[in-house]
């Protein structure tokens, strides 16, 4: 799945400094530390200008394709983490423009900073886990799920809906996949969606996802040096035992045997 990217940046202030954004992806700025006396924010659709004295964890959420500007005042360096979030990372959920404190996001960003210079397997897995936690936190905290118009929703999946579902599921295999989110993506209530999905894909959403995860695991086993533990995380299985059992049921041999002979 398209992933959140983290850039740790510093801004030297000599009285004041400003910045503007208008990007095809979401941008989230998390203030880490420094001596900023005041910061003014203006974001399209946020309803006016906001002024605050930033503290650790002050967060500016700028949705994709929204214009935003910020002016910082002070006489020191300000240190931020800039999160670049592809729109596909949040699925069908629109991001809400926001300015305010976010202690949890700050703690996650700080922990990511702590391991960002390490290359060992434990650090890579921790970074992946923290990144996924950040993605889910952003979706839960700052996204509004679009309402499903049941009366106007279709009863079948057209080709555009099928393509959208395939793309979304392909990009989401490494994370938990929510049936309600899938239904909302194509503007259907869940009960109608399950039947329509089965008609279009000739299988259930759950079985389709399992098939795709096993297919990706097979490719990773034969084309990458990733460990099996890393592959489990990359294809979204909750536990090694679940992965091993499902893989052997579907493929007929264990993941280790497939890597050796596949």
pLDDT in tens, 198-229: 999 999 988 999 999 999 999 999 999 999 99
In a domain? residue 153: no
Please compute Rg for the chain using Cα positions.
21
Confidence grade of residue 197 (pLDDT, cut at 50, 70, 90)? very high
Say how far apart CA 32 and CA 59 lie, in whole Å: 10
What angle, rounded to 10 degrees, do the helices at 159-171 and 190-201 form? 100
Residues 132 and 183 in one domain: no
Is residue 148 assigned to a domain? no
What is the per-residue pLDDT across 94-132, written as a single tens digit (0 to 9) for each? 788 888 899 999 999 999 999 998 888 888 889 999 999
Last residue of a domain, one of 93, 109, 142: 142
Query: How many domains are there within the chain?
Result: 2
Q: Are strands 49-52 and 26-43 parallel, antiparallel or unpaired?
A: antiparallel
The answer to whether 1 and 25 are in contact (CB under 8 A) is: no
| Contact assessment for residue 6 and residue 112, using Cβ atoms and an 8 Å cutoff | yes
Length of the chain as a residue count: 262
pLDDT greater than 80 at residue 42: no
- What is the pLDDT confidence band of residue 146, given thresholds at 50, 70 and 90? low
Specify whether 101 is located in the same domain as 183: no
Backbone angles phi, psi at 207, to 5 degrees: -65, -35
**Rounded distance, CA 86 to CA 89, Å?**
5
In a domain, 183, yes or no: yes
Instruction: Report the CATH number that the domain containing residue 138 is assigned in CATH.
Output: 2.60.120.280
93 plus 178 within the same structural domain: no
Residue 183's pLDDT is 84
pLDDT digits (tens, 9 = 90+) for 160-178: 899 989 988 888 887 777 7
Cα dihedral sign, 194-198-203-208: negative
Query: Tokens standing for 243?
Result: 């992965």
Q: What pLDDT score was predicted for residue 155?
A: 78
Shared-domain flag, residues 31 and 129? yes
pLDDT digits (tens, 9 = 90+) for 221-253: 999 999 999 899 889 887 888 899 999 999 999
pLDDT of residue 47: 59
- Judge if 247 and 130 occupy the same domain: no
Same-domain check for residues 12 and 87: yes
For 13-17, what is the mean pLDDT?
78
> Which pLDDT does position 50 carry in this prediction?
74
Residue 256 parent element (H or E): helix 255-261
Name every residue whose Cβ is closer than 8 Å to that of residue 119 and which is 6 or more positions away in sequence: none
């Amino acid at each position: 799945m398209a992933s959140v990217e983290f850039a740790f940046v510093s801004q030297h202030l000599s009285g004041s400094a400003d910045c503007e954004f208008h990007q095809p992806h979401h941008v989230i700025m998390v203030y880490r530390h420094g001596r900023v006396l005041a910061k003014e924010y203006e974001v399209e659709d946020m309803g006016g200008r906001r002024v605050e004295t930033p503290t650790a964890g002050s967060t500016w959420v700028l949705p994709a394709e929204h214009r935003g500007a910020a002016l910082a005042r002070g006489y020191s360096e300000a240190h931020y983490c800039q999160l670049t979030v592809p729109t596909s990372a949040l699925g069908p959920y629109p991001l809400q423009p926001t300015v305010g404190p976010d202690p949890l996001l700050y703690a996650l960003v700080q922990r990511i900073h702590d391991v960002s210079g390490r290359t060992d397997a434990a650090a890579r897995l921790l970074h992946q886990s923290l990144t996924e936690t950040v993605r889910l936190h952003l979706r839960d905290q700052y996204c509004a799920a679009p309402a499903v118009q049941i009366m106007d929703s279709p009863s079948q999946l057209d080709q555009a809906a099928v393509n959208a579902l395939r793309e979304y599921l392909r990009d989401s295999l490494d994370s938990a996949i929510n049936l309600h989110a899938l239904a909302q993506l194509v503007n259907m209530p869940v009960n109608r969606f399950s039947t329509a999905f089965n008609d279009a894909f000739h299988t259930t959403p759950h079985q389709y996802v399992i098939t795709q995860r096993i297919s990706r695991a097979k490719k990773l086993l034969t084309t990458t040096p990733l460990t099996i533990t890393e592959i489990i995380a990359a294809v979204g299985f909750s536990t090694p035992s679940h992965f091993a059992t499902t893989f052997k049921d579907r493929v007929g041999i264990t993941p280790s045997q497939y890597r050796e002979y596949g």
